[in-house]
């Protein structure tokens, strides 16, 4: 159970009686099966792009690319369930989905850096997801927001790419970083909208079409797709 929670839903509501999540986004909670419509339906972008990535990966020869579509699907489905329910229980799986995608990228970079061999890929990937998932209830009991775990993984991805850039200095062919930089820019913009939402800097609770956190979903989904494009291009360069 999280140390800091927001007001629970009334017991008469479909999700009433469940422990609420650790954060109250701007959108007001409805007494309905879809508690936060804008923050819920916006997750379908992850699902749509997951299908695009899955179909594209079938034409590639790199096993690591095959994970991007399912990982984006996990992000979308779990986040959809979390925002529809407004419960801490399903918020946990929302984080699991984000860890799955983060470690898809971190594992790809660990292979590129030589930290692990191909035979250890699944051990590294599943171990990382399991460890960070186990940290969620622990961090929930601390003053730190659970969301800091995702920020830590994004920082790790950037640090890995810096190390790879240093390692590859002077080698040929050069890596095209356009898609990677686009992904980081999209994540930064998405984070700004999400921050404006949670701090009520830009907030209209009764608007169930456009919300700052919903824009986070839209932009971060595009960031995940940009990351796929970056690694697909790397795969074509290396093959």
Q: Which DSSP string do the residues of 93-140 spell out, in sequence order?
A: HHHHHHHHHHHHHHHHHHHHHTSS-GGGHHHHHHHHHHHHHHHHHHHH
Return the C-alpha torsion angle 232, 234, 236, 239, nearest 10: -130
Q: What percent of the chain has pLDDT over 90?
A: 79
pLDDT of 202-224, one tens digit each? 999 999 999 999 999 999 999 99
The pLDDT of residue 170: 60
Full-model pTM:
0.92
pLDDT of 121-147, one tens digit each? 999 999 999 999 999 999 988 888 888
pLDDT of 9-32, one tens digit each? 999 999 999 999 988 999 999 999
Give the C-alpha separation, 28 to 13, whole Å.
14
DSSP state of 63: G
155 burial level (CB within 10 Å; 0-12, 13-18, 19+): exposed
The pLDDT of residue 230: 94
Q: Give whole-number Cα distances, 207 to 21, 24, 192, in Å.
A: 21, 15, 19
Q: What is the CATH number of domain 37-238?
A: 1.20.1070
Decide which of 171 and 82 is more confident: 82
Note the helical H segments in the chain. Answer: 37-41, 44-57, 68-85, 88-113, 121-140, 148-167, 178-198, 212-238
Categorize the per-residue pLDDT at 172 as very low, low, confident or very high, splitting at 50, 70 and 90.
Answer: low
């Amino acid at each position: 159970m999280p140390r800091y929670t927001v007001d629970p839903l009334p017991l008469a509501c479909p999700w009433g009686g469940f422990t609420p999540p650790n954060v109250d986004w701007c959108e007001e909670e409805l007494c309905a099966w879809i508690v936060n419509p804008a923050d819920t339906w916006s997750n379908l972008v992850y699902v749509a792009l997951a299908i695009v990535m899955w179909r594209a990966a079938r034409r590639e020869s790199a096993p690591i690319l095959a994970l991007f579509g399912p990982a984006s699907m996990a992000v979308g489905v779990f986040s959809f369930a979390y925002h529809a329910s407004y419960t801490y229980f399903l918020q946990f799986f929302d984080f699991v989905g984000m860890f799955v995608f983060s470690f898809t990228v971190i594992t790809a970079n660990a292979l590129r850096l030589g930290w692990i061999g191909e035979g250890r890929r699944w051990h590294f990937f599943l171990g990382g997801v399991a460890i960070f998932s186990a940290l969620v209830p622990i961090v929930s009991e601390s003053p730190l927001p659970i969301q800091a775990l995702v920020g830590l993984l994004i920082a790790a991805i950037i640090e890995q790419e810096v190390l790879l850039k240093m390692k590859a200095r002077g080698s040929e062919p050069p890596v095209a970083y356009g898609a990677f930089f686009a992904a980081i820019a999209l994540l930064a913009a998405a984070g700004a909208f999400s921050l404006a939402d949670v701090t009520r800097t830009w907030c209209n609770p009764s608007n169930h079409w456009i919300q700052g956190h919903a824009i986070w979903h839209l932009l971060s989904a595009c960031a995940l797709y940009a990351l796929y494009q970056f690694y697909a291009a790397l795969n074509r360069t290396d093959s």
